[in-house]
Amino acid sequence: MNLLTSWLFDPTNWSGPTGVPARLLEHLWYTALALAIAIVIGFPLGALVGHTKRGGFVLVGAANVLRALPTVGVLTLVVLLAGIGLVPPIAALTLLAIPPIMAGAYAGIGAVEPVVVDAARGVGMREREVLFQVEIPNAMPLIFGGVRSAALQVVATATIAAYVGLGGLGRYVFDGLALHDYPQMAGGAILVAVLAVLVELVLTGVQRLVVSPGLRPVRTSGGIQR
Amino acid sequence: MLERNAAVRCCGYCLRQYRYDRRDLGVIEFQAVTKRFDDGTVAVDELNLTVDPGRITVFVGPSGCGKTTSLRMINRMIDATSGAILVDGKDVRQSDPPLLRRGIGYVIQQAGLFPHRTVLDNVATVPVLAGWSRAKARKRAEELLETVGLPASMAGRYPAQLSGGQQQRVGVARALAVDPPVLLMDEPFSAVDPVVREDLQTELLRLQGELDKTIVFVTHDIDEAIKLGDKVAVFRTGGILAQYDKPSELLARPADDFVSNFVGRDRGYRALGFLTASGLTVGEIASVRLGDTAGDARRKLSDGWVVVVDERKHPCGWLSADRLSGVDEQAAVDADLVLSGGSLYDTEHGSLRSALDAALSSPSAQGVAVNGSGELVGSVTADEVLRALAAARTAGEVPQ
Amino acid sequence: MTWVFDHLGLLGDLTVTHVYLSVLPVLLGLVIAVPLGWAASRWRPARAVLLTVSGLLYTIPSLALIVILPALISTKTLDPVNVIITLTVYTIALLVRSIADALSSVPPTVVAAATAIGYRPFKRFVGVEFPLAVPVVVAGLRVAMVSNISLVSVGALIGIAGYGQLFTNGFQLQFVTEIVTGIVATLLLALVADLLLQLIGRLVTPWTRVGR
């Protein structure tokens, strides 16, 4: 157990430009950036295909292929082709985060009951209004599920991206590896694990706030009153 | 000028009075309307039909007969392949579909309420779309919830927390929000259980009595069609209009075998619902009051039975020799002793059908007849009803 | 392209290792997940605990788990066992939920009929409930398999063999072809595995193939 905690509890590792807080912030920054771009690209695509119900096959196929891509392979390839720096790794991270978001948007909007969409058109909403006022709010659980999945994906991949020169908590793993410093590796790994769990918890909390209470599973307490 | 006309009909146990004034708002015309789908199926075939304003018109028929398609062409949820649909003289194709739909109420099976919005916000949807302030829209929504018979406490609930019948009421309220002259209803009551369905049907008739909307109602249930429709359009598979008439005409004079089969084997019995019982003789009936002694009751027994009434002369049940056996002479007749059962025949408003029903359902074979205020006036027997029916036939009395 | 042909032997070895490292966890994971999933479908508290723990485990990034394991179970850092156990844990986490949902969705009327006929609980599970749950389980297995095939490469970062070596080697030597070969090989393997699983799934459930 000492192996796992010795590096973590050493206060010198918590200060300075290579200290835990700094690396943590880097990691969060990469995650936020990649996630934001992935949402901007993936969400409209998934939403559009889900709403128009055209191109679903292509979208699902593309998402599956993207998901099967080995993260290490994509990272190394992009960096080799586009050079070291911030952009190539972030681009790779974004690419890998798009499938869950796209799939979540597509599945979510596709799962909105046709009766509800029909009623939305029937009361006189324009297509744009149907999408934004009815389909998206009702698809929120699945959309958010996709976002959470993507967020975890990015946190994990950002760790690996340290291999190709990116900062963040993954640095501790690879620096430790190079120095045969297992406690450092372990420390980094534990920090990453904790961060991932925290991100998941926070996003779950946000989901509860964002998703309409009308979409929560209903607990029938003693039958419905006529 | 408003013309007032009080016309009355009795259908089953519910009493319906409606008045209509002649307005031009809400005339719907189908002119040679055809709908052919991409795979070749003809859903609606050269439909020519005019929907009367301020009335309930029912489209009825088996599946695949084009009734729903025809309805959905009115608010352009589906566009016709050829022909024109005019609402108040204006071709619907000249209107922008969303704007057209905001001016037409639309109620569908399973309500189609927005799960992510509260009941109040669901009802307030169209006013907000039309530009009202949210506060004003919500106020209107509150009024409408009351109109459709829902308690104000429902306003903050979500559709998932409501029963099927309650959801349908909200659906109707949503459709009425901007007070459109036309209301389209696509099998709205088919997904709820029969008890709730009857309630909703009665509610609709009551609402119509207050609001006088032009309602086009689609159903596959001929009983519902006859109960609700001022006029009924029967469609055949393939989108062909078989007959378009008042319900009484459909029952008395079906246009062909299809219509008569569709209307059903007991259409004769149903037709009785449209015959007034003006020629029916009401006979004497023996009665005692609650609180009279058992001895009085025994003395009054006629053919073994006597009716018991309360202090307002409303009948509450029967007493027979059996029920009275062993009861002390001086004991008072009370509610426990009385045998309830049998429907009532209202002499002022009832039809031959309700008279026959009263006679057949009474434990004593004497149907209880009451006046318009519910007071006992006499009895009717099944024989009398059949005699009156024969008289109506020979007199050539046309069912109205 | 010539590089590929020159190194077919290497590719062959790496494929064998990669297949071994990705398939074994799926098999192990399945075997362990079935009783756990059954428990979760039977008892509500078990379901709550199992699903929460699996959810948590699934959240942990693969590299982190691979690195932490040696300290927890006293293996050597470079031991492939770490990868196998990590992937098994992920497979279990994924499948428990899948199996629990699948078993819960078997129509209770079918289960009741089986009991009424005279099946004992274990036989009933093996003969009736589980077979009906197979389609959903196969779907879960496909996700787990593809996911594992991709994750094995992560092991290469700390020196474990598999297609990941092509990436690390290629990166260090700045040799794009090698990396591309690795990506293509991974995708091919994933495709083949997916198709195989679909096929097995269909063979095992003849009743789903019969159309009207």
Nearest to A73 among C60, C62, C167 (CB): C167
pLDDT band, very low/low/confident/very high, at B400 (cuts 50, 70, 90): very low
> A129, exposed or middle or buried, with CB in 10 Å at 0-12, 13-18, 19+?
middle
Element (H, E) at A78: helix A71-82
Per-residue confidence (pLDDT) for residue B24, from 0 to 100:
44
Most confident of A37-41, A167-171, B218-222: A37-41
Per-residue pLDDT tens for A43-70? 999 999 988 888 888 888 888 888 888 9
- pLDDT of B142 above 90: yes
Radius of gyration of the CA atoms of chain C, in A: 20
Residue B305: closest CA among B352, B358, B354, B368: B368
153-212 of C, contacting A, C-beta below 8 A:
153-154, 156-158, 163-164, 166-168, 170-171, 174, 176, 179-180, 182-183, 186-187, 190-191
- Please answer whether residues C157 and C169 qualify as being in contact, where contact means their C-beta atoms are separated by less than 8 angstroms: no
Per-residue pLDDT tens for B168-184? 999 999 999 988 899 99
- A196-214 average pLDDT score: 90
Q: What are residue B84's phi and psi, to 5 degrees?
A: -135, 150
Domain boundaries, chain C: 18-161
Q: Is C81 left (phi over 0), alpha (psi -120 to 50) or beta?
A: alpha
- Please answer whether residues A80 and C171 qualify as being in contact, where contact means their C-beta atoms are separated by less than 8 angstroms: yes
Domain boundaries, chain B: 7-103+180-274, 287-394
Residue B3: closest CA among B26, B21, B29, B30: B21
Average of per-residue pLDDT values in chain A: 87
Q: Which one of C22, C68, C69, C192 makes the best mutation probe of the A interface by having the most chain A beta carbons within 10 Å?
A: C68
For chains A and C, CB pairs below 8 A equal 126
Question: B7-103+180-274 sits in which CATH class?
Answer: alpha beta
Most confident of A219-223, B219-223, B317-321, C120-124: B219-223
Alpha-carbon torsion (A142, A143, A148, A153), positive or negative? positive
* C175 CA: distance to closest CA in chain A (Å): 8
Least CA distance to B100: which residue of chain A?
A124
* C118 CA: distance to closest CA in chain A (Å): 35
**CA–centroid distance for B318 within its chain:** 31
**Residues of chain C with C-beta less than 8 angstroms from the C-beta of A71:** 150, 153-154
Identical topology for domains B7-103+180-274 and B287-394:
no
- CATH annotation of A20-212: 1.10.3720.10
pTM reported for the whole predicted model: 0.74
- CATH annotation of B287-394: 3.10.580.10
Q: What is the distance between the alpha carbons of residues C60 and A198, in angstroms, rounded to a whole number? A: 10
Q: What are residue B111's phi and psi, to 5 degrees?
A: 60, -40
Per-residue confidence (pLDDT) for residue A24, from 0 to 100:
92
Q: What is the distance between the alpha carbons of residues B229 and A80, in angstroms, rounded to a whole number? A: 76
Domain boundaries, chain A: 20-212
**Are C68 and A72 in contact (CB < 8 Å)?**
no
Per-residue pLDDT tens for B306-330? 888 888 888 888 888 888 888 888 8
C18-161 to CATH, choices 3.90.1150.10, 3.30.565.10, 3.40.50.10490, 1.10.3720.10: 1.10.3720.10
